[in-house]
Amino acid sequence: MNSTKSEDLRNIAVIGHGQSGKTSLVSAFLFNSGMVNRLGKVDQGNSVTDYEEEEIEKKISIQASLAYAVIGNNKINIIDTPGYANFIWEARLGLRAVESGLIVVNALEGVEVQTEKVFDASSDLNKSIIFVVNKMSKDLADFDKALESIVDSFGKNAVAVQIPIGKGESFKGVVDLIRMKAFEYGNDESGKPKEIDIPEDLKDTAGSLREALIEKIAENDESLMEKYFEEGDLNAEQISKGLKACILSRDIYPVLITDAVNNIGADQVQEFIINYCPSPVDAGEVSCEEGSVKPDPSAKFTGLVFKTISDPFTGKISIIRSFSGMFKPDSSYYNTNKYTDERIGGFFALQGKGQEPCGEIFPGDIIAVAKLKETKTGDTLTIKGEKVKFPGFVFPIPSISFAIEPKSREDEGKISVAFKKIVEEDPTVKTHRDIQTKELVISGNGQLHVELVVNKLHKKYGVEVTMKPPKVPYQETIKGKADVNIKYKKQSGGRGQYGHVVIRIEPLPRGKDFEFVDSIFGGSIPKNYIPAVEKGIRESKDSGILAGYPVIDFKVDLYDGSYHDVDSSDMAFKIAASMAYKKGMKEAKPTILEPVMDVEVVTPEEFMGDINGNLSGRRGRIQGMESKGKNHVIKAQVPMVEMLDFEPNLTSITGGRGSYFMELSHYEEVPAQLQKKIIADSVKEGRIREEEE
């Protein structure tokens, strides 16, 4: 594939709420530009950018996918992003690599939850924005209501540049308000319209909306404003130049119209992208952690790895957005995050999962390379000696966790390699081995997210696991004191065993864990046996006498005992200490502690009452509330066990508009009535024997 000059590049991320038709619109772009020979359909599982098995099966996008369309001298790099809350962070990754966000809005629903979130992400990153109202052929599709919801949500910078011809099943074309031309599409999926006269019943509407568009353009440019006041209109060249400047400065969010599944209007959107969306040259300098870089081919190369893919045939694929200098294959570049050189082989452009080899690229282009050793998502590549580094990515904190268990020893051996590849692709997945419960825990952005990771383990890496809610890491402690005198004596022919300890057990303040004190005076126990006593207690405290959980926040004072010149040994004193510990724990008023989490819930104001009630019903204590932009933040402390199923409840209450994160705050005593259930469960799990209860 030939290299495209920076000024001829257009980079867009197709973003929006789930089921708004983003992937269908990308399919239409690729078909209309001749990149593919058939119009891909999500329902038929043959779209270019939804190629993972899970995406085809569930008919949703679960990762950002790349494609490109070449039209004349122009190349449009397209990043098709997921619209579901569990995967919306992929949209933010994609936005880092482009100049424009193309927000697809469902004509039936208008602005939805994730529409707001991707708009906010685009605004945070200062990207140009285009709205496309899609699914115009559906029954109940209403462009006027969709446009109204966009303006209500995002302000009067949202301005129509097209209006529909017909609605619902009768939708057949668009009126271009910039050129005042109408285009009608046939009943086939060719995507090729014919130019027609603007229908009589639309002329007044088209005229008034065109006037509103011109006024909006003129108010952002003094020279155009003067021209508009003098002549009452602007010519096509002035409109075009002014609109392009307003899109770049985010003073206008143009609103276009399509029905992507039937390929109506997609060609007009593509043409609009080429004519009005900023190129890397138009966007200019890009900020780094120190200074900035320009899309200058004569400058030194800088690029950002914004996504990593694990391909079963190619291996690890790093997708790189070039920002300055010529990027050349078969060269060495320096990773300023890892402080290491990377040897780069050949380049290829991605068309979904397809790979097209290519040579050096101009600044602003997006390219893929294979098998980089140390480089990961978020890393900067440049020339050795340069200190440039792009800001890193902030990934969402996982909101839900599950325990997983390999089904076989063979699966257990393969799981660590599989997880390494999965986490390279998806840094929001976290895995760890819980030291206390011994479980392998996987955390993600929602139940669907974790389920899909488990599916990928099986289908892509051949690892089968069972998934279950993680065990809560309870702990035990004591509330009272106990003095214990234990003599361990065993004689069975030959040398016997003798160990005698007298200990005092008492509680420590919360968070002090464990303290062992040697108060032996006068040699009642020789110094060489003291470490064995401490070891016996330390090993025993890993299993409490109530439910088998680790015991914390207590002190053991060894203050007396005796020994035998022949029969005493380290083992005898270790056993005596363990016996003394168990007896003392029973007498020192043992109790169970549970982890309590600091929880922050972000929600629109109208759901605050329901969420407060939900948290209170989970034994939560509300700590405070504060505003955060258009939303409110509820701060609470809630026992971990009560939060295991909070994520689906929050989604249900807020319609997907709420989010939360939590972290461990402290441990506190479990109410007595709940301790009985924990103990009973421990008996069932074999953590303790029933007689110990």
| Amino acid letter, 68 | Y
Same fold, 400-468 and 592-676: yes
The fold of the 6-198+251-283 domain, in CATH, is: Rossmann fold (3.40.50)
Residue indicated by tokens 């190129």: 279
Domain ranges of the chain: 6-198+251-283, 286-382, 400-468, 476-588, 592-676
pLDDT of residue 379: 96
DSSP one-letter code for 531: H
Asked whether the beta carbons of 162 and 268 are under 8 A apart, the reply is yes
pLDDT of residue 661: 76
User: Strand (E) positions, 116-196?
Assistant: 128-134, 158-160, 162-165, 173-176, 181-184, 194-196
Burial of 604 (0-12, 13-18, 19+ CB in 10 A): middle
pLDDT of residue 691: 47
pLDDT of residue 693: 41
* pTM summary value: 0.80
Both tokens assigned to 545: 């006498």
3-class secondary structure per residue, 31-85: HHCCCCCCCCCCCCCCCCCCCCHHHHHHCCCCCCEEEEEEECCEEEEEEECCCCH
Rounded-to-integer distance, Cα 389 and Cα 67, Å: 26
The fold of the 476-588 domain, in CATH, is: Ribosomal Protein S5; domain 2 (3.30.230)
pLDDT of residue 232: 82
Alpha helices in 496-632 (DSSP H): 530-540, 570-587, 608-617
* Domain 400-468: CATH superfamily, name plus number: Elongation Factor G (Translational Gtpase), domain 3 (3.30.70.870)
List 598's β-bridge partners, or say none: 637, 663
pLDDT of residue 629: 64
- Averages of pLDDT over each 10 residues, the chain, 693 residues: 91 95 98 96 95 90 96 97 89 96 95 89 96 96 96 96 95 96 92 95 96 93 87 87 96 98 97 98 94 95 96 89 96 96 94 95 97 95 93 82 87 87 91 78 86 90 88 91 95 83 96 93 93 96 91 96 93 96 96 92 92 96 85 92 90 86 87 94 76 45
Asked whether the beta carbons of 82 and 94 are under 8 A apart, the reply is no
List 431's β-bridge partners, or say none: 442
Enter the CATH code of domain 592-676. 3.30.70.240
Burial of 232 (0-12, 13-18, 19+ CB in 10 A): exposed
Residues 6+ apart with CB under 8 A from 32: 69, 191, 263, 266, 267, 270
| CATH 3.40.50.150 is held by the domain 286-382 | no
pLDDT of residue 493: 67
pLDDT of residue 688: 74
pLDDT of residue 637: 97
pLDDT of residue 537: 96
